Amino acid sequence: MNTQASCELCVQAGGEVVCRQDAFRVVLVDDPGYPGFCRVIWNAHVREMTDLPLSERELLMQAVWKVESAIRAVMAPAKMNIASLGNMVPHLHWHLIPRFDDDAHFPGPIWAQVQRPGTPDGLAKRQALLPELKNALIRQFSS
């Protein structure tokens, strides 16, 4: 498998690994403002989606939809945000971020200016759903 010693997603997990498959892994991102933020990280060092053959692209996107399904079922976000950016780490990974109208940046992207402090109640409620989210993710990838 193509890996690069200088790439942090080649040498580190990139979060708490919830599911690991041959081609990709699903991690929970440790972001105190965004409990439930997940990443689907392609294991090989590939830069862009269109660098993958179509079958692998579809496999990766199916994983993205499984993660979206698990997050929606457990957390019922106001909106899902999905993004593949990778300007700093050009190794294919998809961000899946459940958004809520009381989160710190809503309705802006999480990379934009902070709109408000995240409400502690909302954050605590979402943090408490993480065990259920992990189970839902594991179920998605075991079927």
Binding site for its own copies (CB under 8 A): 47-50, 54, 57-58, 61, 64-65, 68-69, 72, 78-88, 90, 99, 106-109, 111-113
| Distance in Å, CB of 56 to its own copies, minimum | 12
Q: Which is nearer to its own copies, 85 or 124 (CB)?
A: 85
| Distance in Å, CB of 121 to its own copies, minimum | 20
For residue 94, the SS3 value is strand
Q: What's the CA angle centered on 113, arms 42 and 105, to 5 degrees?
A: 70
CB-based contacts of 28, cutoff 8 Å, min separation 6: 15, 16, 18, 36, 37, 38, 130, 133, 134
| Distance in Å, CB of 110 to its own copies, minimum | 9
Q: Which is nearer to its own copies, 62 or 128 (CB)?
A: 62
Q: Which is nearer to its own copies, 26 or 128 (CB)?
A: 26
- What gap in Å lies between CA 91 and CA 95, rounded to an integer? 12
Q: Which is nearer to its own copies, 8 or 128 (CB)?
A: 8
CB-based contacts of 116, cutoff 8 Å, min separation 6: 102, 104
| Distance in Å, CB of 3 to its own copies, minimum | 19
- What gap in Å lies between CA 139 and CA 82, rounded to an integer? 21
